[in-house]
Every structure is written in structure tokens, then in C-alpha cells.
Structure 1
Amino acid sequence: MQPMDVDGVRTMTVGTILWAVAAVALIPFWGTLRENGTQWWLWAALAGFGLGLIGIEYCRRRRNALAAARQRPPAGGRRRK
């Protein structure tokens, strides 16, 4: 069985959007989070969003590099067995 040929861009985008939604949903509760000592929830959501943006760019570059490699002819002409 062959693995799925997935580039990860869509997965990273969905995850990043979910982290952003979580961060926005927590902003109105900043005071409550601070009172309960759970303000790290907001910072964790913001970190997830930021790292997700980096992950999207990484996956895009990887996808583009793989597509470019498929377009290039093999170097040296013939392949050895």
C-alpha cells in the first residue's frame, strides 16, 4: 500500500485557522483567565497560530520544490540499476 501523496498545506492551514479562532475566542475572557492563572491558554493559542504560519510556508516551499523536481529531467541521462 502506497502512502497518500499529501503536501500538508491544507492541513496546516486548517490547524492555523483553528488556533486563530481559539485565540480570538479567548480574548474576551482575558480578565477571567488572569484571575484563574490560566492566561497561558491565550498565549498557547497565539503560539499555535504563529507556528502554524511558519508551518504553512514550510509546506508551500516543500510542495513547490517537489513539483519543480518532477518537472526536471533526470541528470546524467540514464539511470543505473
Structure 2
Amino acid sequence: MTTEKPSKPRVHHLVQAPVKPLDEDGVLAGVSGTIVWLVITIFLGLNLNILETNGHTWWFWTGVVGTSLGIIGTIYVWNRGRKR
């Protein structure tokens, strides 16, 4: 036979503040990040001969991929926000 102890009610010491969520759709973040990648890619493209000399052309292609993914992501969040 098992005797069960009465359980005490849990007391929570942390309380969630009543803060309204931001009405952010991600377009500003996507555009900002894409612009940064684009500036980096342009800079690396202007210095491509230095990158080729040192064997670091993959830096340029990383910038191209970052810019491309940024454009795709920005279009996605823009369309998602429009459908709301």
C-alpha cells in the first residue's frame, strides 16, 4: 500500500511582462542584410585580382551566394507579409 503525500501548489517567481509583440515581417532585416552582402561582393569583385593571386576567390563567390540568398529571402518574406 502506497501513501501519497499531498502536493503543494507550484509558486512561479518569474512573471512574463505584458509586452505586445513587434509587428515585424522581416523585410527590413532581409533588405539590410542583402545590402551588406551586395557591398561586400562589389568590394571583393573590384579586388578579384588580389584574391586570385592569394587563392581566395571563394570569398567572392561566398558574397555572390550571400547576395543571392538575401534577394530570395527578401522576396519570400515580402510575399508572405503581403498575404497577411
Are 1:29 and 2:32 counterparts? no
Per the alignment, residue 38 of structure 1 pairs with 56
Per the alignment, residue 32 of structure 2 pairs with 14
Alpha-carbon separation, structure 2, partners of 1:42 and 1:2: 41
Which piece of structure 1 moves more, 1-10 or 40-49? 1-10
Structure 1's unaligned 5+ residue stretches are 67-81
Deviation at 1:4, TM superposition (A): 2.2
TM-score, normalising length: structure 1:
0.74
Per the alignment, residue 80 of structure 2 pairs with 62
Structure 2's unaligned 5+ residue stretches are 1-18
One-letter amino acid matched to 2:49: G
Q: For 1:5-45, what per-residue CA distance to the aligned partner results, in whole angstroms no more than 9, with x for missing partners?
A: 21000110011011110011111211110121111111011
One-letter amino acid matched to 1:49: T
Could you tell me the percent identity over the aligned residues?
Answer: 36
User: Could you say what the CA RMSD is over the residues aligned between the two structures, in angstroms?
Assistant: 1.1
Residues matched between the structures, number: 66
Q: Which runs of 4+ in 1 moved over 2 A?
A: 1-5
